[in-house]
A and B are shown apart, each in its own frame.
Chain A
């Protein structure tokens, strides 16, 4: 059984490697060889025992690929002379058959390897290949990560003080947020889940605008209609967060379809967590995107937890990255706390998605350091020291700081200045947002439709009459 697993895991590895090789062939700066080269010898006892896993799965996966080079198939052919000349014709293409009954294993001995550029001390791993960033971009990335961290801590404190009703932090996932945003252009359409405010921050959403949304005041461009952290801004191509899980994933496919129709040089990107991949919408969206050949990046933040549900209770596959090939989607696993790895992977994914009109799945492994939200106390279901270790030893912000400092682009004075300045701005933004008026009653009935229909006008009239008749029952400072 163990041998079976190894050969089938090798087939998965080899398949993914061939994908990554194709990736690297399109952009010379991107070869990375962290996983070992699989060895393929003449049919050994292992191979003969497990020909199905080696060969048939591979051929199945490849049979409909126009872009797949024939080179790979030749290599496979040479391994299995005994079987490959017997082929069946079924809807979907030719498939070789085997007289041996072999089940494909449900789990590999070795998991899919993870792309990483910086080590835990923020130093480049030797022979790592990545997309170079200029000092300007690197400093902006770092500053935005610090801003996000500060924003999170200030808003969290504000919620605890009762000044806003709800908040969800992004602690531990700052690299995912900022680095992925930095690798995209503002023409790319973003369909977030709810733990990606950093993408909006990168694109220019101000601290004041974040505060306005959290306080739901009249300056909120969502007009106070959503809970805090449900940001949205059409100006920044950031589609309004909906609380429903994974419903944005098919939206992104639809948007990518629209971009393809318009032949725009842009892609759609959608973010979701490990929990979101259990939803039906995730699976259908991946399937659709592959069938329709649309430019969309599926970015999974696998942070280990869906509120209190650990990934072992969420799925039994090797994470999310292996689900991509199941739908015919090219996939990669990256270290989600490694800024440069994310930047490089998203940059490449975007190029592939747009030039080849295909979807890409990126699984970023990370850890949700904060609680799920302010309504959660995660110490109830996970050990405190585990949380603390990820918060300090594996902090993506500190790790990237070490890298930019080693380049001479940052120093501790800059750090102090930045943190104090951002904190001050945040506190000011909160004060301003708190004092601002709430949206007027008139905005209760608008935007349900493009123009209010008669029944809503009637309901508004009734409400206003009620308010006039019972002035003491509602707060006098609620604007109308």
Chain B
């Protein structure tokens, strides 16, 4: 297996939106047994609503709203600033402190601290047994994680790069997703499988895989993708506390994003999408790194007089059709921007789901912008054009809104 250089490449400063977001502390309440009756939601227009919990869905609400001068600021504490990989580590550390059964296993996660430093310092703090360096056999250490999970531990399996987890596909599909079902509910598998994926900066085809499209049909697993330090920490904590196997997709280029996150504890909901920018004209659905390309395009679009609504879907399996549906009903136009390949990607499934459920609300066919069906080339100029660029997003919105 080719090893990749550990240093994470960073997005340029102009793409960080930390100063523009207002973050609200969200209610922590994860397992079904811990459900509370209702919780507060501060909407983007500043109104405060009491919301009864939805049955069977994890309740906590993490809504990132546009910085709005009139918006009620319930974030009384200033919070602290950190990078996305540090946010992941913070979430991981808090959960390891809270629950002694949480452990990490993967290649070079121990004293090396992980290839992207997400587990840095944890081995010294918790010992070699709880932060386990494994030999190079992805299928087998994923299998080991499954066995440990069935026996009462809560392992987090780190793939050094998501692409390497293709080797673990057998264990993930045939055992991780399946054993809770085939055992009649007798054995549960509260495992988290995470790792960096997506197209980086000239990492070559094998290190630029997008696995969410391959894993999305596996019954029994949940998939989430983080995109900001805030939701990275929140989703990490939620995934660890979940009783189901969760695959957490991180992106190689987002690890050095900086943001100010709350000091107090919070957990994000695994099944909810995030409203990034409310709008009226068109719904743009995106996740992970493409969120930033979308927001950059949004700036241009606003200057041109459009009002796009941007939603970071976050939950790739299952889709948060509630939030998405409400948005479609409002704007009647949908643009999906994703990094997956065109064929059989998340966008393809999302298009099908929206068409099936909200066809009557659409004024125009759904446009889906994805990467081409090519292995990612090494040459920078070529690589740049395999992913969706902001200019293409602007054009697509203009086309939709004609």
Contact = CB atoms under 8 A, between A and B. Distances in A.
Closest 8 CB pairs of A and B: A254-B147, A251-B147, A250-B143, A284-B140, A284-B137, A254-B148, A254-B144, A240-B183
B179 A281 contact: no
B96 to A, nearest CB: 13
Contacts of A244: 170, 174-175
A360 interface: no
B126 to A, nearest CB: 11
Interface stretch (B43-51, B84-92, B150-158, B338-346): B150-158
Given A291-B135, A450-B32, A285 B185 contact: no
A251 B174 CA distance: 13
Given A258-B148, A448-B220, A453 B271 contact: yes
Contacts of A252: 147
Interface of B: 32, 56-57, 103, 129-130, 132, 134-135, 137, 139-153, 155, 170-171, 174-175, 178-188, 219-220, 222, 242-244, 271, 318-319, 321
A287 interface: yes
Given A268-B147, A280-B137, 19 more contacts: A225-B181, A225-B183, A232-B182, A234-B186, A242-B182, A247-B171, A250-B144, A251-B146, A251-B175, A254-B153, A257-B153, A261-B129, A268-B151, A281-B140, A285-B143, A292-B132, A449-B244, A450-B243, A453-B318
Q: Which range contains the number of A residues in contact with the other chain? A: 35 or more
B174 A250 contact: no
Contacts of B171: 247, 250
A98 interface: no
Nearest to B54: A454
Please indicate which of the listed interface residues B145, B184, B188, B318 has the most CB atoms of chain A within 10 Å of its own CB: B184
Contacts of B149: 254
Contact of B153 (A225, A258, A283, A288): A258
27 contacts: A222-B184, A222-B186, A234-B187, A239-B187, A240-B184, A244-B170, A244-B174, A244-B175, A250-B143, A250-B144, A250-B147, A250-B171, A251-B144, A251-B146, A252-B147, A253-B140, A254-B147, A257-B148, A257-B153, A268-B147, A280-B139, A291-B135, A292-B132, A447-B184, A450-B243, A451-B56, A455-B318
A222 B182 contact: yes
A212 B187 CA distance: 19
Contacts of A257: 129, 132, 144, 147-148, 153
Interface string A246-286: 01111111110111111000001000000000001101110
A261 B130 contact: yes
Please indicate which of the listed interface residues B151, B170, B188, B242 has the most CB atoms of chain A within 10 Å of its own CB: B151
A474 to B, nearest CB: 22
A250 B170 contact: no
A280 B184 contact: no
A291 B222 CA distance: 31
Contacts of B130: 261
Interface in A422-480: 446-455, 457
Contacts of B170: 244, 247
Contact of B174 (A230, A242, A280, A283): A242
A63 B353 CA distance: 60
Contacts of A446: 185
A247 B176 CA distance: 11
